[in-house]
Amino acid sequence: MAERDTTVPETTETVEDDHQNSAHGFALRERLDAREQRGLRRDLAPTERVAARSRVATDPGDGISNFAGEDQVILASNNYLGLADNDRVQQAAAAAAREVGTGAGASRLVTGDTPVHRALERNLARTKDTERALVFSSGYAANVGTIAALAPDVIFSDELNHASIVDGCRLACAETMVYDHADADALGAAMARRDEQARKGEDESWLVVTDSVFSMDGDVAPLAAICDAAERHGAWVMVDEAHATGLYADGAGIVGHEGLGDRVQVQLGTLSKALASQGGYVAGSEALVEHLANAARSFVFSTGLAPPAAAAAREALAIAREGERRERLWNVVERLRDGLDEMGYRVLGESQILPVLVGNRSKAVAFGESLAEHGIVAPAIRPPTVPEGTSRIRVAPMATHTEREIERCLEAFHEAGRAAGVLDE
């Protein structure tokens, strides 16, 4: 028998370099260097707790995070209602962990379907005024699973739709026609062109997909006009309410706020933003839910949502529907928008998301770093997340931000904006 080589490599870097240089390797170090040179490499920044205020650490790699210094005001979270550290929500999660279990243990089609899941789905369906709802392990899973399971022949997708919608379109292997952002006329024109191209007598299934609130621009899709265009061509409409669930119309989102529930066949959203938990959902007809439960691969072949997450989302939805938190959030949003406008910033959107347009990538990065020095966590959003020349600071306030914290934020934007050359002296 040949003697086994027990030589220990000098460093882990040597081993990694050997792998990088292999004929069939992936050259990951080169990829990272290229990303670094393009200004696209990002680090993980651990946050001590999910709340309106927290200490933030630099990326420790595989080490232990060092949370030093004072709390910073968090303005980069989707925890819009500030419910992640709410006592009622935490108690609901703890009770579910004790009574049901910390994990579902299996796909919901096997043994992972619990009373907690069913209770959440009933409440979601009631909130969305639909026949049924179905909960997935994430909003991403809900999008890719639903679009692929519907298997439309043609998809009409807003150009700024979330990556999970884009990936769902790819997985569906459908012909995808991308229409100009939030432009119902452009959608109608695309559908008319497709009608002209279609062979006579050919029966195609068409799906129009859009976010309701767009996460980077903070604007709202013209859903009524989109429904008008879809109905003229006999298409279905699917709306992703990820950034609207819990915040409008007693928690029902933009679809409910605008009274469009009977015109939108597929309502989808996440439990991980305003509802401060984890998971995604689809709400619609009985037939839709039954079909997805059987055909959506991200549901069928995935362990069910953890019972504590389902219970937390259900309690958060109840709090959102009570209204007080929503009112507090909109008051904070109005105060911040007015203050930023008065300083001379261009604030985009019409929702709880306040994108402060900077334009230049380098200036935006310097601006975000200066804000951090002033105790505000609101990092720059830059290409490729947003188009070139539209880099910005995305301000996402919470209902739990105090008046003093709002003042601190506005003061920081004034000082940091001047320091970064974004505001005139």
| Rounded Cα–Cα distance for residues 309 and 306 (Å) | 5
Q: Which residue out of 212, 273, 277, 401 is catalytically annotated?
A: 273
Give 200's pLDDT tier (boundaries 50, 70, 90).
low
Task: State mean pLDDT over 371-395.
Answer: 94
Domains 87-322 and 324-419 share a fold: no
CB count within 10 Å of CB 346 equals 12
What is the pLDDT at residue 38?
81
Nearest 10 degrees: Cα torsion 269, 260, 331, 139: 0
Q: Is the dihedral of CA 294, 299, 301, 302 positive or negative?
A: negative
- Specify whether the backbone of 356 is left (phi greater than 0), alpha (psi in -120 to 50) or beta: beta
Q: Please confirm, yes or no, whether 200 is among the known catalytic residues.
A: no
pLDDT score at 270:
98
Considering the segment(s) 87-322 as one domain, its CATH architecture is 3-Layer(aba) Sandwich (3.40)
Compute CA distances 238 → 119, 206, 317, whole Å.
24, 11, 21
Which among 165, 157, 164, 163 has a CA at the least distance from the CA of 181? 157
Helix residue ranges per DSSP H, 58-183 = 87-99, 115-128, 139-150, 163-172
When mean pLDDT is compared across 45-54, 136-145, 197-206, 328-337, the lowest value belongs to 197-206
pLDDT, one tens digit per residue, over 165-190 is 999 999 999 999 999 999 999 999 99
pLDDT of residue 19: 54
CA 139 to chain CA centroid, nearest Å: 8
Find where tokens 């706020």 sit: 257
pLDDT at 7 > cutoff 60? no
pLDDT digits (tens, 9 = 90+) for 267-321: 999 999 999 999 999 999 999 999 999 999 999 999 999 999 999 999 999 999 9
The pLDDT tens digits for 122-155 are: 999 999 999 999 999 999 999 999 999 999 999 9
Task: Write down the pLDDT at residue 4.
Answer: 41
Confidence at residue 8, expressed as pLDDT on a 0 to 100 scale: 42
> Which of these, 362, 360, 359, 337, lies nearest to 413 by C-alpha position?
337
CA distance 255 to 130: 12
Percent of all residues in the chain with a pLDDT value above 90, rounded to a whole number: 82
Active site (annotated) includes residue 243: yes
Q: Looking at residues 155-163, what average pLDDT do you find?
A: 97
Q: Which residue of the set 157, 215, 272, 298 is catalytic? A: 215
Alpha helices in 233-280 (DSSP H): 253-257
Determine the distance from the C-alpha atom of residue 30 to the mean position of all C-alpha atoms in its chain, rounded to a whole number. Answer: 30
Q: Is 233 a catalytic residue?
A: no
Q: How confident is the model at residue 340 (pLDDT cuts 50, 70, 90)?
A: very high
Q: What is the pLDDT, as a whole number, of residue 1?
A: 39
Q: What DSSP string runs through 274-286?
A: TT-S--EEEEE-H
Q: What residue segments make up the domains of the chain, in order of their start? A: 87-322, 324-419
> Which listed residue (117, 128, 162, 243) is catalytic?
243
Overall residue count recorded for the chain in this entry: 425
Cβ atoms of 364 and 380 within 8 Å: the answer is yes
- Per-residue model confidence (pLDDT) at position 199: 65
User: Residue 240 pLDDT more than 50?
Assistant: yes
pLDDT at res. 57: 86
What is the average pLDDT score of the chain?
93
Q: Is the pTM above the cut of 0.75?
A: yes
CATH of domain 324-419: 3.90.1150.10
